[in-house]
Amino acid sequence: MAQVLYIIGAIILNVCGHSFLKAGMNRVGPLSGGIIEYSLKTLSTPFILLGLFSYVASVSLYMLVLSRTDLSYAYPLLMSIGYALIVLVSFLIFKEPFSAYKWVGIVLILIGVVLVGK
């Protein structure tokens, strides 16, 4: 049971990492000026720092998961559910387009994970 909670935690932190980085980069904007100034601006943005922290925490939990379960189970689960959640977050929070093709893709990915997990 603990490994399931660790996997869920790793997935949530991974999705948060992507979401915070996107929010941060929306504030920073595209590359402009010198690379040093742009890098400093990027690394001083709170959402970017939250995103990086979320990634480190996600990897830490994922390493714990890998110490207790098979890679062939953990990795597909983490990546596929994370991908599905990212599509939903990008639609709900960032107002990115969401088509019927994406719904079909998410369903197929989740079906694939169920099959791989058996």
| pLDDT tens-place string over residues 24-80 | 999 999 998 899 999 999 999 999 999 999 999 999 999 999 999 989 888 888 888
Q: What mean pLDDT do residues 69-94 have?
A: 89
Mean confidence (pLDDT) of the chain: 91
For residue 96, report the phi and psi dihedrals to the nearest 5 degrees.
Answer: -80, 155
Give every CB contact of residue 84 below 8 A, 6+ residues apart in sequence: 106, 109, 110
Please give the Cα distance from 45 to 34 (Å, whole number): 17
SS (H, E, C) 23-39: HHHHHHCCCCCCHHHHH
DSSP three-state, residue 95: coil
CA angle 61, 67, 73 (to 5 degrees): 85
- The whole-model pTM stands at 0.86
For residue 75, report the phi and psi dihedrals to the nearest 5 degrees.
Answer: -65, -50
Asked whether the beta carbons of 114 and 73 are under 8 A apart, the reply is no
Asked whether the beta carbons of 82 and 10 are under 8 A apart, the reply is no
